[in-house]
């Protein structure tokens, strides 16, 4: 994992805090290790925080699973708050530890108002979610965690990485979110990066955006109609139905964004997220608009 200086011009300023994880998601782009790396990354990251530009808008905390740091996660947050009081903190977590209401309360205490937690939901079906997460109790713990985060009024980004195992139920998942998780701040429907376990498991999980276009459009439009903010990450505009272009974001980190030669003649390039330069497989159907 490369540690880059935190840069005010970048759209991706994240602290990688551990490669360990208690899930084993089938499409994980950063396959977990069991190496005891928390202290090593802590020392490196504290230097990054201290030398970060004061006007930094957002800082991510990612892994691996950041909550495996236990109370050390709160130390990170307190140090960020001390050196960067106006910077939003965005933690990417599988959400399972937040089943513990005391831990969730401590997170709120440490993080205050400008705190966001991005949590993945893989399916509205227990078995599908657990299978994709690679952990038997993941669904129950993550759903309980979402409720605990909401009761602490912590902003939640609900993330759905679209793959061959969950795409057909995207419209049903949107309805499930409206019925059961209306408190989330927004839903991110995400294209997959072809790296890590996504390569290893490609025969069962890989899917092209043109194959899930209908389901993605239906889910996006439904969530928008019922008043739940929705965004699309990592899918280029030329692979999306025009009706949902306005929900697409420049979601790919600037340092790993790829545009093809075809993109040079495209009229919407400046609004398009492009492709993952890190993917070993390029989405089919890229065509200038
Ligand atoms: S051609 Fe390139 S820039 Fe244009 S929408 Fe497709 S991926 Fe984006």
Ligand 1 neighbourhood includes 239 CB (under 6 angstroms): no
Calculate how far, in angstroms, residue 213's C-alpha sits from the geometric centre of ligand 1.
Answer: 16
Distance CA 143, CA 186 (A): 16
Q: Where are the domains of the chain?
A: 14-276
Mean pLDDT across the stretch 257-286? 95
The alpha carbon dihedral of 251, 252, 257, 258 has a sign of negative
Ligand 1 neighbourhood includes 95 CB (under 6 angstroms): no
**What CATH architecture does domain 14-276 belong to?**
Alpha-Beta Barrel (3.20)
Q: What pLDDT was estimated at residue 12?
A: 76
On average, the pLDDT of the chain sits at 94
Calculate how far, in angstroms, residue 257's C-alpha sits from the geometric centre of ligand 1.
Answer: 12
| Contact yes or no for 23/121 (Cβ under 8 A) | no
Ligand 1 neighbourhood includes 209 CB (under 6 angstroms): no
Q: What is the pLDDT of residues 154-184, one digit of tens each?
A: 999 999 999 999 999 999 999 999 999 999 9
Mean pLDDT across the stretch 69-96? 96
pLDDT at 2 over 80: no
Q: What is the pLDDT of residues 33-59, one digit of tens each?
A: 988 999 999 999 999 999 998 889 999
Q: What pLDDT was estimated at residue 3?
A: 58
Instruction: Kindly give the number of the ligand 1 atom that is closest to the alpha carbon of 287.
Output: 1
Strands, E, within the chain: which ranges? Answer: 14-18, 58-63, 88-92, 115-120, 155-161, 186-190, 230-233, 257-258, 275-276
What pTM was estimated for this model as a whole? 0.94
Q: What pLDDT was estimated at residue 249?
A: 95
Calculate how far, in angstroms, residue 247's C-alpha sits from the geometric centre of ligand 1.
Answer: 15
């Amino acid at each position: 994992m490369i540690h880059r200086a935190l840069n005010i011009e970048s759209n991706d300023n994240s602290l990688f805090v551990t490669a360990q994880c208690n899930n084993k998601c089938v499409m994980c782009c950063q396959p977990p290790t069991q190496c005891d790396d928390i202290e090593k990354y802590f020392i490196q990251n504290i230097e990054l925080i201290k030398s970060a530009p004061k006007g930094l808008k957002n800082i991510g905390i990612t892994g691996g699973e950041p909550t495996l740091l236990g109370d050390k996660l709160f130390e990170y947050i307190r140090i960020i708050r001390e050196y960067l009081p106006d910077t939003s903190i965005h933690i990417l977590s599988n959400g399972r530890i937040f089943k513990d209401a005391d831990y969730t309360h401590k997170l709120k205490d440490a993080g205050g108002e400008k705190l966001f937690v991005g949590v993945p939901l893989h399916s509205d079906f227990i078995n599908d979610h657990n299978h994709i997460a690679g952990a038997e109790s993941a669904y129950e713990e993550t759903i309980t965690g979402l409720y605990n985060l909401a009761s602490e009024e912590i902003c939640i980004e609900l993330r759905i990485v679209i793959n061959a195992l969950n795409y057909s139920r995207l419209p049903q998942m949107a309805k499930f979110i409206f019925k059961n998780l209306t408190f989330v701040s927004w839903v991110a429907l995400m294209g997959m990066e072809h790296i890590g376990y996504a390569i290893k498991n490609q025969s069962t999980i890989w899917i092209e955006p043109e194959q899930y276009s209908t389901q993605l459009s239906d889910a996006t439009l439904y969530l928008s109609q019922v008043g739940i903010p929705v965004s699309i990450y990592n899918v280029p505009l030329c692979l999306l139905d025009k009706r949902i272009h306005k929900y697409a974001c420049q979601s790919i980190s600037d340092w790993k964004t790829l545009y093809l030669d075809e993109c040079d003649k495209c009229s919407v390039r400046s609004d398009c997220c492009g492709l993952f330069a890190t993917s070993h497989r390029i989405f089919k159907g890229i065509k200038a608009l």
